[in-house]
Copies of this chain bind each other. A is one copy, B any other.
Amino acid sequence: MMIIMKPSATPQDVERVIEKIKSVGLAVHLSQGVETTIIGAIGETHSLPTDTFEVMEGVETVQRITQPFKLASRQFHPENSIFPLDGFTVGGDELALVAGPCSVESRSQILETAHAVKEAGANALRGGVFKPRTSPYAFQGLGEEGLELLAEARQQTGLPIVVEIMSQVQLDLMVEYVDVLQIGARNMQNFNLLRVIGETQTPVLLKRGLSATIEELLMAAEYILAGGNKQVMLCERGIRTFETATRNTTDINAIPVLKSLTHLPVILDPSHSTGHFDYVAAIARAAVAAGADGLIVEVHPDPAHALSDGRQSLKPEKFAAMVRQVGQIAEVMGRRLATVKIPAHG
């Protein structure tokens, strides 16, 4: 961390900054130029807020040199994190391909979808049971009944299930049923939730907040990793910008940027990042071409009657076409679509 002093800073101002650096256990490097004095704070600075110094007399600005995250950083963990997920691995050569409806709506809907996405090439099943809805008057999900239906779908298809958790009071229930805990965009900085999930050993799919920076996403992952849970996948799902032609703006840059900053697997959600089924396949191909480790896609057998997100859901046959294209791109990238076997007892 570098503290850059104002041209008008007095020797006493400089002295006070030096004292403060020492008081938090860091070493000092002083560089006095003609125009400016710069003071380096050397040591374990990743946990030190920059405003510790910014408020001091004579300080112009403070620049962080080292990243404010550590466990998530590729600097300290150069190899990709690869972890198993019911018959395939995430973060290595195999692509994760999570598909399913926005909400679990009924037994027939989720079972039909599960079989259809499995057949089309998906290796995990998504489905919401507690839904974060902007309006208090909209469908809020089936709750525990939905979890039971998902478990049945898993038993029949062998697909591991990915479900969003919205509150720490749902944790025990969720951990009992699901294979991957999804943290939604609106909860990316629900630090209480991150902390308790960090204390479990259930794999996590952490979605980027709709106006979170890449650094904030990595800091959120750091919360979970710091608790001891190392199985975290990051998910780009579109950010909020001035453009209104699509629901969100897919930050495709985030794929190569994240792959260079962190060892954690990175997947992309083209359904939310575009908001329209017409654009999902193009962005799914782009994500894999950019180096993503997987995709999470909304699929519904009858989007026109979906209780939520129908506009961005693919019909199973369109999803199957998308998977074929994605598979060809994956091959160019030296990756492959992993497949999941139907369980013997299924």
A interface residues (Cβ-Cβ under 8 A, vs B): 2, 4, 7, 27, 29-36, 38, 40, 42-43, 46-47, 49, 51-52, 54-57, 60-61, 63, 65-66, 68-69, 75, 130, 132-138, 166-169, 186-187, 189-195, 210-211, 213-216, 219, 222-223, 226, 239-246, 249-257, 260, 273-274, 277-279, 282-283, 285-291, 303-304, 306, 308-311, 313, 325, 328-329, 332
List, sorted by A's number, 20 A–B pairs whose CB atoms are closer than 8 Å: A7-B75, A33-B42, A36-B42, A38-B40, A46-B137, A55-B303, A55-B306, A56-B304, A68-B134, A130-B192, A136-B195, A169-B169, A211-B242, A214-B243, A240-B242, A242-B242, A243-B253, A249-B251, A253-B273, A256-B279
Within 8 Å by CB of A132, from B29, B169, B191, B249, lies B191
**A251 and B239 alpha carbons, distance in the complex (Å):** 10
**A54 and B303 alpha carbons, distance in the complex (Å):** 10
Within 8 Å by CB of A186, from B69, B189, B239, B260, lies B189
**A243 and B212 alpha carbons, distance in the complex (Å):** 8
Number of copies: 4
**A157 and B286 alpha carbons, distance in the complex (Å):** 32
Contact A137 B241 (CB under 8 A): no
Tell me the smallest distance from the CB of A39 to a CB of chain B, in Å.
9
Tell me the smallest distance from the CB of A80 to a CB of chain B, in Å.
16
Residue of A214, A251, A252, A313 with most partner-chain B CB within 10 A: A252
Contact A138 B329 (CB under 8 A): no
**A260 and B277 alpha carbons, distance in the complex (Å):** 13
**A202 and B286 alpha carbons, distance in the complex (Å):** 32
Contact B226 A136 (CB under 8 A): yes
Residues from chain B with Cβ under 8 Å of A285 in the complex: 289-290
Which of chain B's residues has its CB closest to A56's CB? B304
Within 8 Å by CB of A189, from B75, B132, B283, lies B132
Tell me the smallest distance from the CB of A22 to a CB of chain B, in Å.
15
Tell me the smallest distance from the CB of A200 to a CB of chain B, in Å.
16
Which of chain B's residues has its CB closest to A331's CB? B332
Residues from chain B with Cβ under 8 Å of A252 in the complex: 250, 252, 283, 286
Residues from chain B with Cβ under 8 Å of A253 in the complex: 243, 245-246, 249-250, 273-274, 279, 283
Residue of A65, A69, A308 with most partner-chain B CB within 10 A: A65
